[in-house]
Structure 1
Amino acid sequence: MNIPSRQWRLAVATTAAGLSIAAHAADPIKIGISIAQSPPGSVVQGVQVKDGLEIIKDQVNKAGGALGRSIELVYEDNQGVPEKGRAATEKLITRDKVVAVTGGHQSSVCLAEIEVAKRYNVPYVNTNCWSDDVRKKEYPQVFNPGNYNSRVGQAMAETIAAMRVKRVIALVENTDYGIGQAKAVAEALKQKAPSVEYKYETLDRAGKDFTPAVLPLRANPPEMILTMLLPPAAYIVMNQRYEQGVAPSAKTWLYDGAGIADYPDFWQNVKEAGKYMLEFGLYHPAMKTPKLGLEVAKTYQQRTKNEPNRLIFQAADSLLLIVDAIKQAKGTDPNAMIKALETMKFEGVRGEFRFSKESGYKFHQWVEIPYVNYQLTEVNQPVSESLLVQGPGIPLSVDKLKKPAK
């Protein structure tokens, strides 16, 4: 018996729609990644973030993806420039149709990118932008599993107070991150060590010659110099300060607040200038690490032959958060993903946490993010062999610190 034309067309249309839905379900889920892959941005950070993201992407896809769909990472190079970050995020959302954006690792860029994420109501997971201002905007789309300036300020102020130094000068990059961290330290010192004489000087992050800032320190050395700069400026300042005999020295401690000592290119750029540096850090092998974190660390070492570092883990958690949100939301609807991120109890590569709902710099933040203080006591010393003076469950022990003979 012949099927009437109308019924036949309906059957064909239904079949075609079913095939379209099935094909869509098999399409990869696109997640946007905006990082610095070329100067003037921190390329070394961008590389590490990408390494961490790729490890987790491969693990997730090997395990079947999210809701039966593979994860595809779509990269854009923001060059560490806010305007390029804004354009990159716009492209990822409107042209590439990503369901979320992550990877941000420079605060000025993140501050530009979150405006775009808010406008399009797309989840944005901040990997490594420390500026408190990223949180203070209280955008519902923005989540912060990484470190924040107020956390560093409190930690450094406690260390300064314990070391009983009286005069401290900070050299900071002229960015939202650098100036923000310098101010956070100032506020924390008012509570922890109000008698400390503290000031900071801003330096051009694109500069090459910082001797005008270094020479006055040689003439009138402080008891401690803090640094809040990213490479390459951070490395240049360290070398010029060491060449002038300023720090580290018998008179002046060097305390870095940017966490640069675990960068793969640290020692090849600073040599002797890094010896005796005290470091605020977010990872040390002595820290308790979950099984998943150990797996990520092992994979990273196999792929790069380098020791794992905090950016690897932060990037890994950033992507895992998005994948978990997709699974809990049972899809990629942005509102459902945002709700999932707000309410989930997340178990990642660095531990277990929930995002805070407090206002201000704690908004959508992992508030009690673990940190350490350690000292580099030899040239080319890996972090695993450094002197741990404070960590989760390990009280601050400044009596362990070592100083150069001259």
Structure 2
Amino acid sequence: MKLLRLAAAVSAVVLASSAHGADPVVIGVSIAQSPPGSVVQGTQVKDGVEIIAKMINDKGGVLGRPLKIVYEDDQGIPEKGRAAAEKLISRDKVVAVTGGHQSSVCLAEIEVAHRYKVPYVNTNCWSDDVRAKGYPEVFNPANYNTRVSSAMADTIAALKVKSVVAFAENTDYGIGQAKLLGEFLKKAAPQTQYKYIALDRAGKDFTPAVLPLRASPPDLVVNIMLPPAAYILMNQLYEQGVAPSAKTWFYDGAGIADYPDFWKNVKEAGKYMLAFGLYHPQMPMPQLGLDVGAAYQKQAKTEPNRLIFQAADSVLLIARAIEEAKSTDSAAIIKALQGMQFEGVRGKFSFSQEPGYTYQQWVDIPYVTYQLTEVDQPLSKTTLIQATGQPLQVDKLVKPAK
């Protein structure tokens, strides 16, 4: 028995050694590492990529070759994203591009991937337009605007509010989600008055947009903005006594509540916030997901957020497709991604081939609804209002006294 264990251990070492001696499989990752892009998102995506890449390499790499990650800073700017994708594909000879986390950038990058016919795995770009292009190179394990807008409309209908104002960043993601929310509310809550206000994502002061709500506060305010703009908006809504308040709910539709810098930037303004979420510790998760979360928590000393898992799945998808195809040829990887049943960090799924916003999309991506009830509250302590696949429990929600 000891000899068998020794042989297995030696075999594992030999496999790992041979992997690291071979030419690497290079994956390109385009993320925002500097403003005006969402640097907090970019940092989380990079953390998730690094964790899963190490796990893959520790087990022998891909096809006996080590995985190598090459990064480019897209700054959250479409033109920079286009240049980043061009560099990764033509200069670095990557087998695939991933990491995209801002829709306007993804929309620019997928044009490059489509032209070169190189696989592109969308990590966190929500705009339905990314899917509706119908590019065979683009795969979407990320959330999408129709999914979140539909879920939020159902929640708003359950709250029986009469008036809703959404603040949306002036991007493909923000305006797209705001418009879709209005369409879904017409069906789910036709009695509810709804309007959205577009704000500059690089803005530093939203007081002119917030002040009119003091005189005529709506029943609910929706955030469809990313940090740092989202944090500025939240603080100004709170300072002006608009939301959260005894009169007005505050509902985040951008998935910002689990960012590591959230509480540091919003403090009291985040208390009582209702949130759409793509991760919660009470969500069912495969063992691999638990391992990724534990690895992140060990290194960061804080709970993981959704972007860690989304980034890990993005890289793992590419690695699994290469193994399935037994090749790093672009066409072979694309064919494998289109036909494979993927078991990843967040669960099992395959990509829809229906045209439109579900094209090459994980259609039934799981989500939750929860409420923050204390300042500095970790995600695990928040109140779960809607578990994955379960009905809403709005009776659990609480409002401030004033």
The total of aligned residue pairs comes to: 385
Aligned position for 2:232? 236
1:36-80 deviation line (CA, Å, top 9, x unaligned):
000000000000000000000000000000000000000000000
Match of 1:206 among 164, 181, 202: 202
CA distance in 2, matches of 1:24, 1:221: 61
Matches within 5 A, 1:272-291: 272-291=268-287
Aligned position for 1:149? 145
CA distance in 1, matches of 2:39, 2:168: 19
Match of 2:103 among 94, 107, 112: 107
Indicate the SS of the match to 1:207: coil
Give the superposition deviation at 1:23.
11
CA distance in 2, matches of 1:97, 1:87: 14
Indicate the SS of the match to 1:27: coil
Matches within 5 A, 1:9-24: none
Residue 127 of structure 1 pairs with residue 123 of structure 2: yes
Aligned position for 2:62? 66
Q: Percent identity?
A: 72
Give the superposition deviation at 1:393.
3.8
TM-score of the two chains, using structure 2 as the length reference: 0.95
Aligned position for 1:96? 92
Residue 174 of structure 1 pairs with residue 170 of structure 2: yes
RMSD over aligned CA atoms reads 1.2
Indicate the SS of the match to 1:328: helix
- The aligned amino acid for 1:255 is Y
CA distance in 1, matches of 2:70, 2:77: 19
CA distance in 2, matches of 1:298, 1:405: 38
CA distance in 2, matches of 1:66, 1:393: 34
TM-score of the two chains, using structure 1 as the length reference: 0.94
Q: Which runs of 4+ in 1 moved over 6 A?
A: 22-25
Residue 247 of structure 1 pairs with residue 243 of structure 2: yes
CA distance in 2, matches of 1:24, 1:56: 16
CA distance in 2, matches of 1:383, 1:178: 24
Aligned position for 2:6? none
- The aligned amino acid for 1:398 is V
Aligned position for 1:83? 79
Matches within 5 A, 1:1-400: 26-400=22-396
Indicate the SS of the match to 1:80: coil
Does the aligned pair in 1 maintain the 2:52–2:316 contact within 8 Å?
yes
CA distance in 1, matches of 2:71, 2:137: 20
CA distance in 2, matches of 1:160, 1:65: 46
Aligned position for 2:397? 401
Indicate the SS of the match to 2:223: strand
Find the structure with the greater CA-based Rg: 1
CA distance in 1, matches of 2:38, 2:302: 18
Aligned position for 1:19? none
Give the superposition deviation at 1:336.
0.7
Q: Which runs of 5+ in 1 are unaligned?
A: 1-21
CA distance in 1, matches of 2:258, 2:162: 29
CA distance in 1, matches of 2:255, 2:20: 43
Give the superposition deviation at 1:25.
8.8
1:216-274 deviation line (CA, Å, top 9, x unaligned):
01110000000000000000000011000000000100000001000000000000000
1:293-328 deviation line (CA, Å, top 9, x unaligned):
000000000111110110000000000000001111
CA distance in 1, matches of 2:173, 2:287: 32
CA distance in 1, matches of 2:310, 2:389: 21
1:268-290 deviation line (CA, Å, top 9, x unaligned):
00000000000000000010111
Give the superposition deviation at 1:194.
1.4
Give the superposition deviation at 1:195.
1.5
Indicate the SS of the match to 1:361: coil
CA distance in 1, matches of 2:321, 2:354: 21
CA distance in 2, matches of 1:215, 1:208: 15
- The aligned amino acid for 1:266 is F
Give the superposition deviation at 1:394.
3.0
Indicate the SS of the match to 1:360: coil
1:368-400 deviation line (CA, Å, top 9, x unaligned):
000000000000001100000002143200011
CA distance in 2, matches of 1:368, 1:393: 10
CA distance in 2, matches of 1:286, 1:134: 30
Residues 120 and 24 from structure 1, CA distance in 2 versus in 1: closer, same or farther, beyond 3 angstroms?
A: farther
Indicate the SS of the match to 1:262: coil
CA distance in 2, matches of 1:195, 1:395: 22
Q: Which runs of 5+ in 2 are unaligned?
A: 1-17
Does the aligned pair in 1 maintain the 2:77–2:105 contact within 8 Å?
yes
CA distance in 1, matches of 2:179, 2:59: 45
Aligned position for 1:18? none
CA distance in 1, matches of 2:316, 2:90: 23
CA distance in 2, matches of 1:270, 1:138: 39
CA distance in 1, matches of 2:66, 2:94: 13
